[in-house]
Structure 1
Amino acid sequence: MNTDSVFVERALINGDWTPFDLDTVKMLMTIFDVDRSGTIGFNEFAGLWKYIKDWQNVFKHFDRDRSGSIDGGELREALAQFGYNLSPQLLELLQKKYANQAATGRGPAPGISFDRFVRACVVVKQLSESFQKLDSDRDGWIQINYDQFMQTVLSLP
């Protein structure tokens, strides 16, 4: 981990004062390192900060029970409003993948914390966009070989 990721990780705190998940920090740095220098400059960080503030409003909107985390129903509603109508099986898989670690003491509440919610939504968006690029006839099915699939998935930030 470089010093920029340490700085960004320390600057980004969830609503419960827990630090951002390192994988989320890395994903955000990849998105906002627009000059691909491997570091986040002031202007890039300013863009990242605005992005986080916008996502905080989205999170508050969908955290209907004000628990500080997103449960399965709230996740389903959020993704549906973003235009992603995932099957119950995919929603359950997504919820399990991004769920907070076991809540203990001052740790995060059960469900999906703010930082992991952002990451889950961004990943769904990136995967959906990648799929749509490969679904040339827009029928919901793609015919690709293993190399094409791996190139698509591994090229995601």
Structure 2
Amino acid sequence: MAGGMPDRNFLVNVFQLVDKDRSGAIDSRELQSALSNGNWMPFNPDTVRLMIGMFDKKGSGTITFEEFGALWKYVTDWQQCFRSFDRDNSGNISKEELKTALTTFGYRFSDKFYDVLMRRFDRSGKGVIYFDDFIQCCIVLHTLTPEFRQLDRDQTGTATFTYEQFLLVLAKILH
């Protein structure tokens, strides 16, 4: 996922277009309306909240202009990534394309688990994953993996943890 930071004037213009209420910050509703997942459905609000949480350094629930540049780069990098794994240019990711993507990222899952991921992240019910849900799937895996690795001290793929530790990990992705 490569790509330079866009020109500051370009970002100012985009930020002003997204900041509909002219508050000087972008909230999840404004960001959701500005993003497109390529299938005319509203961008997944859970994905929007996860992304705002990643870039909202002050914990205000909004993105300032300074934070927006990093978020913009993040989304455009994910778009390039998504397109590279959407082999048939259908605008969505099939189960096989998801397997290819996650294997490329270093994940090794069973076929049965890919079925679980498809059910969880296929909001359209069409057996495919659109851009916004693909980002959410990747964020969730990216968040959970280091948490699991901390408990998998010998890096065997197995960990023992308490119910409370399990809930704490889930709380990080369930905002």
Structure 2 residue 58 is matched with structure 1 residue 51? no
Deviations 1:77-114 (A, max 9, x none): 000000011111111100111113246xxxxxx51000
State the distance in 1 between where 2:114 and 2:50 align: 21
Matched to 2:38, the amino acid is: G
Gaps of 5+ in 1: 104-109
Distance 1:92-1:102 versus aligned 2 partners, 3 A rule: closer
Give the residue type in structure 1 aligned to 2:160: Q
Deviates more, 1:55-64 or 1:16-25: 16-25
Q: 1:139 deviation in Å?
A: 1.6
Other-structure match for 1:88 = 111
Match in the other structure for 1:34:
57
User: 1:111 — aligned with what?
Assistant: 128
The runs of at least 4 consecutive aligned structure 1 residues that moved more than 3 Å come to: none
- TM-score of the superposition, structure 2-length normalised? 0.79
Instruction: Indicate the SS of the match to 1:155.
Output: helix
Q: How many residues align?
A: 149
Write the distance in 2 (CA, Å) between the matches of 1:48 and 1:11. 13
Offset of residue 131 of structure 1:
0.5
TM-score, normalised on structure 1?
Answer: 0.88
Between the aligned partners of 1:70 and 1:128, the Cα distance in structure 2 is: 22
The amino acid of 1:136's aligned partner reads R
Pairing 1:143–2:155 present: no
Instruction: State the AA in 2 paired with 1:100.
Output: R
2:142 to 106, 125, 128: 125
Question: Could you tell me which residue of structure 2 aligns to residue 98 of structure 1?
Answer: 121
Q: Give, as a single letter, the amino acid of the residue that structure 2 aligns with 1:12.
A: L
Deviation (angstroms), 1:25:
0.6
5+ residue gaps, structure 2: 1-25
Deviations 1:119-148 (A, max 9, x none): 111111211111101111212111111111
Counterpart residue identity of residue 134, structure 1: L
**1:68 and 2:68 equivalent?**
no
2:21 is matched with: none
Q: 1:79 aligns with which of 58, 77, 102?
A: 102
Q: For residue 107 of structure 1, what is the aligned residue in structure 2?
A: none
1:44 to partner: Cα distance: 1.2
Q: Aligned pair 1:16/2:39, yes or no?
A: yes
**What is the Cα deviation at residue 15 of structure 1?**
2.5
The one-letter code matched in structure 2 to 1:146 is Y
